[in-house]
Amino acid sequence: MKKILFTMIMALTVSANAWAQEGVTGSLLWGISDGVLTIRGIGPMPDYNAYNPVPWENYIQDVTSIEIEYGVTSIGLFAFENSINVTSVTIPNSVKSINSWAFSGCSMESVTIPNSVTNIGDYSFVGCENLKSITIPNSVTSIGEGAFTFCTGLTSVSIGSSVEIIKGYVFSFCPNISTVKVFWNNPSVCWLFEDIFDSEIMASCTLNVPVGTKEIYQNATFWGDFNVIEATLEDDISIEPQLQTTTITWLPIKSAAGYTLIVYNNADYTQVFCIIYFNANGTVKNVLFRSSSAEEYYSYTIENLKRGTTYYYELSANDASDKILDTTRGAFTTLGTSSVENITADSATVVGYYSLTGVKLAQEPTNGIYIILYNNGKTKKIMK
């Protein structure tokens, strides 16, 4: 009875979205509307093959965007293989596994692998020729054989510190890779298979490693074939501002016992917005003044910021005696304007939809209150 009731409720949900094509796959629902393929529900996506083809097989050539909603826990074998017109993919942080050949042959230029994923399957992104960069988050422990082979557009790769196994040919036939960033203090913790990168590119490819580990990598089998350089906080800090949040990420320093991130309201670095203390492994130790949320190691998302406002940050690494080993300062400006303005869609182009707390939404909501961000930086509050 519970199963029947659940199916009825989910069916009503699908109807409310007015999908042009729709159906059920395993315990999940799927629907297509205006070129967007949506996967919805709770649980794993089935694995597919020649005897069990994907139910959207006859419509996939018309799909340009794939949106997997929160609740889906895995992406099935061959799920979106050869979806050559797909340029946008959204993977929620409920997904734990991306199975083999899942996105092979897709055309997206970027994809965010959430820090819930622990396994990237064999050939899961093979032949994604438009993919420019890839970041393997710290949650991932295993990267399957040939996962990114023939991604000929790849120029930069970042591999998280929790990766324990990298199987063969993962980045083979990716001739344009020029930068590889790794986070292990000692590369011996990761088991490497053969021919992960093409030997022809390794000598000219820059390998960014944590401060204090250059000699270890230079003397290590395989890694020593790269052009090894040590990262500094200034060189390897990245800032990703949104409407009311900003994520700050950096590369670790081997000898650091901890890190301190201070965000200020003014250019004089005197009015503190928040202070976050981190352990040596990048996990949060303490937060002062404001509530924020850590997303992964050596990465932090600051919340409750004002739209269209410039903030200033100071990130420092310290040893066990609190002596500063390295420090860097900079500024970032949140998206949008400092006040919500009513403008028409005719005067600007929509670049994103956001919740009232500044979280970016995958698509425009069908009801509720949300914010539209335009390419001129202005915003508009919508109530439906």
Q: Which residues pair with 203 in a beta bridge?
A: none
Q: Confirm whether 130 is domain-assigned.
A: yes
Q: How many angstroms separate the CA atoms of 308 and 333, rounded? A: 6
Q: Structural domain tally of the chain?
A: 3
Q: Confirm whether 34 is domain-assigned.
A: no
Residue 124 CB coordination number (10 Å): 27
Place of tokens 């997206």: 108
Q: How many angstroms separate the CA atoms of 261 and 315, rounded? A: 5
If you ran DSSP here, which 8-state letter would residue 127 be given?
Answer: T
Q: Confirm whether 50 is domain-assigned.
A: no
Tokens of 285: 């130790």
Q: Confirm whether 12 is domain-assigned.
A: no
For the question of whether the overall pTM of this predicted structure is more than 0.85, the answer is: no
Note down the domain range covering 150. Answer: 109-230
Both 164 and 273 in a single domain? no
Query: What's CA 213's distance to the chain center, in Å?
Result: 26
- Taken in order 150, 151, 153, 155, is the CA torsion positive or negative? negative
Which of 170, 201, 230 lies at the terminal end of a domain, its last residue?
230
Both 242 and 226 in a single domain? no
Distances (CA, A) of 339 to 226, 306, 346, 359, 371: 49, 9, 20, 17, 12
Both 301 and 224 in a single domain? no
Which of 178, 196, 230 lies at the terminal end of a domain, its last residue?
230
Which of 293, 312, 333 lies at the terminal end of a domain, its last residue?
333
Q: Contact, 281 vs 292, CB < 8 A? A: no
Q: Confirm whether 339 is domain-assigned.
A: no
Both 181 and 287 in a single domain? no
Domain of 280, CATH number, reads: 2.60.40.10
Both 179 and 290 in a single domain? no
- Per-residue pLDDT of the chain (384 residues), as tens digits, is 444 444 444 444 444 456 888 999 999 999 999 999 999 999 999 999 989 999 999 999 999 999 999 999 999 999 999 999 999 999 988 999 999 999 999 999 989 898 899 999 999 999 999 999 998 988 899 999 999 999 999 999 999 888 999 999 999 999 999 999 898 888 999 999 989 999 889 988 999 888 778 899 999 999 999 999 887 777 778 888 887 888 888 878 877 899 999 999 988 888 889 999 999 888 888 888 765 555 556 788 888 888 888 999 999 998 888 888 888 889 998 887 654 444 444 556 787 787 765 667 777 887 766 777 776 666 676 766
Both 243 and 326 in a single domain? yes
